[in-house]
Structure 1
Amino acid sequence: MNLALFDLDHTLLPLDSDHEWGEFLARTGAVDAASFRQANNEWFAQYQAGTLDPVKYLEFAFGILSRFPRPQLDEMHRQFMTEVIQPAILPQAVELVKKHLDAGDLVAIVTATNHYVTKPIAAHFGVQHLIGAMPELDDHGNITGKLLGTPTYGPGKITHTEAWLDKLGLNLAGFSRSYFYSDSQNDIPLLELVTDPIATNPNAKLLAHAQARGWPVINIFDGHAQ
């Protein structure tokens, strides 16, 4: 059994699910559109630049989610999946994941985007294991606005991936081959640890790093807007 890890946004999806979730909330009137879009765009720009404070961002994101009772939130997410995410999922992304699932590999999505937004997306790809930032829940399953543990961002992806594998009685060194697909320089710490780092639809910073290191580069979104 090999290990196959996937980033999500701009790797398997030709969009950023976190940013699009915010746009969906603004478009549907769930939040004040003007003020929220400004904040959402500022956070996204910081993420792209690699200057994001992940704890502050997640407190902001979870704070928005905490405004809604869980049944209402879940209904909004179902609409988000139908209107935004499912139409954006491309066959070649599904096939890339399926190749590893069919080979019997241990497959996980490791994303900086929070677990609530991404769990249904991982399920759509047929991936059981999801590593994402966890929101605190109250006794009724409502999101409180607080972050549980630490962010799954940058080096945090290593911490959380190793903890997940440890719970399974495994470790990275125990796999003959370990793959990680990512588009972003933020994921270089984990990319450096696997046997098969694959720059997938890489941004300019990751592309330069991948070329310098001799890593494979693939683009599964050729012909599609990113």
Structure 2
Amino acid sequence: MDLVLFDLDNTLLDGDSDFAWAQFLIAKGVLDREVQEAKNIGFYEQYKAGTLDIFEFLDFQLAPLARHPRAQLDAWHREFMATAVAPMITHKARRLVREQLDRGALVAVVTATNSFVTGPIVREFGIAHLIATIPAQEHGAFTGKPRGTPAFKAGKIERVDSWLESIGLYHGSFSRSWFYSDSHNDLPLMARVTDPVAVDPDDTLRVHALGKGWPVISLR
């Protein structure tokens, strides 16, 4: 059996669900546009530059989850899926995922975006396993803080290893392993697998991938 890992934002999706979720809440009037939109754009630019403080960002991104009941959040998310996420899902991405599942690979999405936002998206692709940043909960309500290590940069390796251990496997259980990503932030995990694939990569990742002889593909 092979291991196939996918990044989500700007990889399987033609867009960034983390950024889009905050913009969606701003458009709904849940977040203040004047203050929050500038912060959202600023964090996204830091992510692309590789300078993002993940904990500072999570304080921003998870806070709205703690302010509203789960039923309201779920209702907003259903609307978000229909209006913002559905247009980001390309036929090429669906086909690649289906090919990997059909051939019997163990497939998972590994994303820094929190599991509340990404869980329904990953299920839409038919993928059973999600390794994401986890929003902490107490008494059934979100606290606005992350639980455990965020699935970001080298944290993705730690989280993947913990997930594999939880199902009785480890990295050496697979003769081949793939990780598909668009971002230079994912270079630690890409260097860990046998078959890294750059998908519509940012400029830094494209240069690195070409220098290493990694495949560069587009799902758009």
Tell me whether the two structures share a fold, i.e. TM-score over 0.5. yes
Secondary structure of residue in 2 paired with 1:151: coil
Deviation of 1:32 after TM superposition, in Å, equals 1.0
Could you list the structure 1 runs, at least 4 aligned residues long, displaced by more than 6 angstroms after superposition: none
Distance in 2 (alpha carbons) for counterparts of 1:87 and 1:214 = 32
Paired residue for 2:131? 131
Distance in 1 (alpha carbons) for counterparts of 2:87 and 2:40 = 22
Counterpart amino acid of residue 4 in structure 2: A
Q: How do 1:38-77 residues align onto structure 2 when only pairs under 5 Å count?
A: 38-77=38-77
Deviation of 1:197 after TM superposition, in Å, equals 0.5
Deviation of 1:174 after TM superposition, in Å, equals 1.5
Paired residue for 1:2? 2
Secondary structure of residue in 2 paired with 1:132: strand
The C-alpha deviation readout for 1:31-90, integer Å capped at 9, x for no partner, is: 111211011111111101000011111122111221111110110001000111012211
Distance in 1 (alpha carbons) for counterparts of 2:205 and 2:178 = 16
Paired residue for 1:206? 205
Q: Which has the higher helix share?
A: 2
TM-score by length of 2: 0.98
Distance in 2 (alpha carbons) for counterparts of 1:36 and 1:160 = 29
Paired residue for 2:151? 152
Asked if residue 109 in structure 1 is aligned to residue 106 in structure 2, the reply is no
Where does structure 1 lack aligned partners over 5 or more consecutive residues?
Answer: 222-226
Paired residue for 1:14? 14
Aligned residues: 220
TM-score by length of 1: 0.96
Where does structure 2 lack aligned partners over 5 or more consecutive residues?
Answer: none
**RMSD of the alignment, in Å?**
0.8
Distance in 2 (alpha carbons) for counterparts of 1:33 and 1:158 = 35
